[in-house]
């Protein structure tokens, strides 16, 4: 599936990291035995949430690991954009036409109708004829 150029231009997977704060720089700390160790905020893990293939993965990664993950994702996206495929690109496209997709759609419609009825019932201008 080839995406239009405007969509491809907006598909940017770079990390949007703010400028490094002062504590981002290496910090020398002393220990009880008198040795000095150097610690960097780059090495401290941060929580990363990944949504992929209908699943959610939350893990602690360093900045280097996060950059590596994004680089791999970018490469995969570029490969997928350059290779023609006969099957749907995403599993969600095929779910639309599956029985499970139809039941989800019907369930959503029922939910929205019930919510609409509740809102109308509590409306101060509700006319019961």
Convert the pLDDT of each residue in 13-43 to its tens digit.
Answer: 455 554 544 454 455 555 555 555 555 555 7
List C-alpha distances in Å: 4 to 7, 10, 128. 5, 10, 51
pLDDT value at residue 112 = 94
pLDDT value at residue 114 = 93
* Mean pLDDT across the chain: 70
pLDDT value at residue 105 = 85
> What's the CA gap between 31 and 34, in Å, rounded?
5
pLDDT value at residue 32 = 58
Please give the angle made by the CA atoms of 111, 116 and 122, to the nearest 5 degrees.
Answer: 125
> What's the CA gap between 76 and 70, in Å, rounded?
10
pTM: 0.35
Write the Ramachandran bin of 11: left for phi over 0, alpha for psi from -120 to 50, otherwise beta.
beta
pLDDT value at residue 42 = 55
Digit-coded pLDDT (tens) for 42-71: 578 888 888 878 888 888 888 888 888 888
């Amino acid at each position: 599936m080839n995406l239009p150029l405007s969509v491809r231009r907006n598909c940017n997977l770079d990390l949007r990291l703010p400028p490094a704060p002062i504590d981002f720089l290496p910090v020398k700390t002393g220990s009880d035995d008198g040795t000095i160790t150097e610690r960097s905020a780059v090495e401290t893990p941060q929580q990363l949430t990944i949504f992929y293939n209908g699943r959610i993965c939350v893990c602690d990664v360093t900045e280097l690991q996060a950059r590596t993950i994004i680089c791999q994702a970018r490469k995969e996206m570029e490969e997928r954009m350059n290779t023609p495929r006969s099957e749907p690109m995403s599993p969600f496209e095929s779910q639309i036409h599956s029985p499970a997709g139809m039941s989800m759609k019907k369930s959503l419609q029922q939910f929205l109708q019930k919510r609409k009825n509740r809102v109308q019932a509590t409306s101060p201008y509700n006319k019961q004829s």
